[in-house]
Amino acid sequence: MSPVFRSAFLYSFGAASLAAAPLAADNGDPVKLDAFDVVAAKKIFSLPLDTAPVTGSRLGLANRDLPASVSVVSQEVMQLRGLRTAVEAVEAAVGMTGGTQFGSIPTYSTRGFGSNSVSVMRDGIRQNTASQSSRTVDSFLLDRVEILKGPASLMFGEGAIGGAVNYLSKNPSATPTGELLASVGAWDTYRLGLGIGGPLNASLNSQPSTLNFRADYSHLQTAGYVDRNAQRYDGFAAALGWQVSPQLTLTLNTTLLKDWNESYYGNPVVYDGVVNTTVANAPVEVRPFNSATDRFVNPRIEPAARRTNYNILDNYAKTENTFTRLRAELRVTPDLELRNEAYAATQLLKWRNLESNVWNPVTRLVTRSSFLHIYRDDVLTGDRLDAIHQGTLAGRPNRVIVGGFFERNNQVRGGTPAGYATTATSVTLLEPAQTYGPGDANRFLKTSHITIDTLAFYAEDALDLTPALKFVAGLRHDAIDLQRDTLRTPTTAFATYTKRYTPWTGRAGLVWSATKNLNLYASYSRAAEPTTQLVSFNVSSNDFALQTGRQYEIGAKGSLTKQLDFTLALFDIEKNNLLASTLDPVTGLRISQQIGAQNSRGAELALALSPGAGWRLEANAAYTDAWFDRYAENLGTGVIDRAGNRPSNVPEWVAGFFASKRFAGGFALNGSVRYVSDRFGNTNNSVRADGYVVADAGASYTWRRCTFTLRGRNLTDADYEPVAGTTMRRLGDPRSIEFSTHVAF
């Protein structure tokens, strides 16, 4: 039981005992009460061990009782550390790297896996893979962000071999509350947040309100530090809670996100020549770079081109996303609870960009290509029903959940209309000619309609084998039916394509309470992931099975002292059935087979310390050794073995440190340092993104209910790549300063 709940329980129990006990005769004799502890609430850090993260289990288990690694970054942590977006919040967790790519698409990496191997959800709703539907979210709208490490298919279905990121909404408030956030920063950056909440019906006879709400609005806009990189993000979130009866509670959450961006795809890497790594003692050649075979000679970003945008003038990416969830919780008996969630999510995206600007050492110009029109119109609907029973099994305390859901994802995809050019004229590096894209900027060609129906059943159980040993296990079965209808040429062969997958996934582990404040655990988990996004499947994907992933993990969670909490995890992950190229032994033709494998193993450590009055320290470090075990790529003229190479964009080390100190009189100081080691930008491991250190610091003053903060970001003005590139590098923000005001009312 957490210190907060234990205090409330003991206080209530003591008060009730006094009220129920008969009054002693007034004879002067003292009345002796049974002793009980009063425990103060702990501050919430980014690794709260006594909360019950919904991303790690549906059983309501405390973090310390889970045989898995779950990081929690609360709204309090976001405000204290100045984390403006969900990406920045995720990067505060141990071992996580992230970045916002072109078109405002966030991407994450952890434990040796990234991109679509890390699922992104909103209140547990995953509309599609991260690269298809993930958008930038202002942290003001969130109650917290939870990150589950390793295979997460038990919780969230196909995908998520590397982990899962869950953005959690704020809950209805039973007491009147309000807050206002306003900030101004470099590059005409403005941020606004407004939130209110409280009861909607007057309480009678001092009884709590039965109808409560919460509503939040966020706005972020910036001109961007790169030319023509303006961005605007608006979000609205609302929550309504109704205590229909003592047994029944209804909660409605809805979120609307809208964004518009002028895209910056990165600066072209300037180089003097290339060397073919597949040829021994190969000479330097002055020709365009081939990522599959070459390494650069003297690669660099031209400082004078640091703020240059090579995109077309009429580029844009704009989206509207909605997420709505109605949750009903019914207490049938003291031991049995039913939960039902009906949910819906929509996405409308329109995208027009010229996405490649690559240096040509022969012409000494920037070659521009990859003009794309992208259209997406998705509607996801679903319903989940759970039954949770808390009782005994073989005389031992046991908690079990059995549930299932059905969801349908209707998706319309579109692309570039026929006749539009896919390339543009080459331009100079320092003074590129600004041109418009071809054709009508608002014309899109709808090409396909995809429906994905998923029916899933799962069970999860937590059994106390002994007072100190807990067995936690879960099993899930999915039936995934996909149908793709071609809209462009509906009368041709294979105009309708269907596919069915039926994976089994799950997790099993033991948690041992070695002491009152220290838990040790070991677990095994499995996940399944398609070879590509399900929405992109077609007849050429017909013979491919799901990729499978498994993880062994051991770890410890606990409190070494009243002031020091920690988590430690050691993991080993293997992903099989990767698509790899090989040669047919009879015909000699290149073919794709699911014979590849990717591995990673490593360790993660997180610490949270309160060494004295007003002090708060957090530190984390993660080491990952990742490699391709079996993998080969098609070069067009043959195949090349990548076994032993490190996967793209996987750092060996990620570490962070944060410190804050509150002084008398309302003043406070805080600072953070984050380190990410070198990463490779390609599977050839010939393109290296340098490691980097980013340092931030802030000073604040609190007057009554107002807090004023001056914060400096990237204080050393480091040039760094949050996400490793190859022929283009999208650099992080330079040094900047912002001023913010937060008012609670």
Give the tokens for residue 610.
Answer: 């309160």
**Domains in the chain with CATH codes:** 1-41 (no CATH), 63-169+263-311+321-728 (2.40.170.20)
The span from the CA of 452 to the CA of 465, in Å, is: 40
Q: What CA dihedral angle connects 462, 465, 469 and 475, to 10 degrees? A: -30
The span from the CA of 678 to the CA of 676, in Å, is: 7
* pLDDT over threshold 70, residue 465: yes
Q: Quick one: which H or E segment has residue 730? A: none
* pLDDT over threshold 50, residue 545: yes
Percent of the chain residues past pLDDT 70, beyond the cut: 91
pLDDT-based confidence at 728, cuts 50/70/90? very high
Return the closest-CA partner of residue 453 out of 503, 408, 497, 410.
408
Question: Which residues have a Cβ under 8 Å from the Cβ of 321 and sit 6 or more positions away?
Answer: 127, 133, 135, 255, 256, 257, 258, 345, 346, 347
Give the tokens for residue 636.
Answer: 């067009």
Pairing of strands 163-169, 118-122: parallel
For 481-526, how does the pLDDT look when each residue is reduced to its tens digit (9 = 90+)? 999 999 877 666 668 889 999 999 999 999 999 999 999 999 999 9
pLDDT value of position 539: 79
Q: Decide: residue 519, CB within 10 A, 0-12 exposed, 13-18 middle, 19+ buried.
A: buried
Report residue 181 CA to chain centroid gap: 24
Percent of the chain residues past pLDDT 90, beyond the cut: 78
Residue 356's DSSP bridge partners are 369
Averaged pLDDT, 576-586: 79
Averaged pLDDT, 604-622: 94
C-alpha distances (whole Å) from 384 to each of 204, 273, 356, 402 are 35, 57, 43, 11
Return the closest-CA partner of residue 82 out of 745, 744, 739.
739
Give the tokens for residue 390.
Answer: 């808390």
Average pLDDT, the chain: 90
The span from the CA of 702 to the CA of 604, in Å, is: 35
HSE, side-chain direction, 13 A CA sphere, residue 64: 21
pLDDT-based confidence at 638, cuts 50/70/90? confident
pLDDT value of position 536: 84
| Higher pLDDT pick, 606 / 12 | 606
For 651-695, how does the pLDDT look when each residue is reduced to its tens digit (9 = 90+)? 999 999 999 999 999 999 999 999 999 999 999 999 999 999 999
Averaged pLDDT, 392-398: 96
